Structure 1
Amino acid sequence: MFAVYLTVTLLAAAVNGVAAVADIVGHDYPKAQADRVRVPHSWVLPLGLLLAAGSLGLLAGIAVPVLGTLAAAGLVLYFLGALAAHLRVGDRRLGAWAVFFSVAVAALVVNVAYHGLG
């Protein structure tokens, strides 16, 4: 079970870490996404910092399990908020969202399965 936990956690940390870097450095893709869901560009950096915190929290969770579980739960909530933003404006192009959400849910599931809730 440890191998599954570690693989999913590292994958989720990497995927969200790459997205965080794109947000933080001001890449065009996050700005285009913000425009599509009518979110101000000024939100891109704070949202990127949340992704970075989630990614680092997943990694920290390898040493301190509760941090990983909280980080994974936070990422699930983050992507539920992203879904709401997409649906609010009628944007049904949710392929990328589905990948990120699935990875976050998988990270939460393996964290709880491997470490338990407390």
Structure 2
Amino acid sequence: MFIAYAVVAALLALALAASAFLTFTRNPQVTGNMTKLGVPESWLPWLGTAKAAGALGLLAGLVVPALGAAAAVGLVLYFLGAFVSHVRAKDHAVAPVVVLTLLSGAALILRLASA
């Protein structure tokens, strides 16, 4: 189970790091999507920080299982919030959010199963 966690955590951390970078640099596609969802621009640094912390936490979970589990819980909650934001804005492009939520849940289950 540890190898499965390592693979899922590494891939998810890579995706989160890229997303955090795009959020910090205020990529027009990211800021456009956030505006469409009604997210204030002042929230972008906080959201980018949450993504970066999640990525680091998943990777730290390779050494400290509790950190990996905590990061995965945080990411599940983060992406559930993103899903709610999409639904409230009547934006039906939720597939990426659903996939990231499921991957975060898989990381949590695999981390707990391999501890």
1:33-78: CA deviations, max 9, x gaps?
1111111111112101000000000111111110000000000000
Question: Which residue matches 2:24?
Answer: 24
In the comparison of the two structures, how many residue pairs are matched? Answer: 115
8 A contact 1:60–1:67 mirrored in 2: yes
Distance (Å, rounded) in 2 between the aligned partners of 1:81 and 1:27: 21
8 A contact 2:83–2:98 mirrored in 1: no
Shift of residue 99, structure 1, vs aligned partner? 2.2
Question: Which residue matches 1:80?
Answer: 80
Distance (Å, rounded) in 1 between the aligned partners of 2:91 and 2:71: 27
Question: Which residue matches 2:41?
Answer: 41
Question: Any gaps of 5 or more consecutive residues in structure 2?
Answer: none
In the TM superposition, structure 1's runs of 4+ consecutive aligned residues that sit over 4 Å from their partners are none
Shift of residue 95, structure 1, vs aligned partner? 1.7
Distance (Å, rounded) in 1 between the aligned partners of 2:78 and 2:33: 15
Distance (Å, rounded) in 1 between the aligned partners of 2:103 and 2:28: 23
Shift of residue 24, structure 1, vs aligned partner? 1.1
Distance (Å, rounded) in 1 between the aligned partners of 2:21 and 2:106: 22
TM-score, normalised by the number of residues in structure 1: 0.91
Alignment of 1:1-118 (within 5 A): 1-115=1-115
TM-score, normalised by the number of residues in structure 2: 0.94
8 A contact 1:30–1:44 mirrored in 2: no
8 A contact 2:23–2:48 mirrored in 1: yes
Question: Any gaps of 5 or more consecutive residues in structure 1?
Answer: none
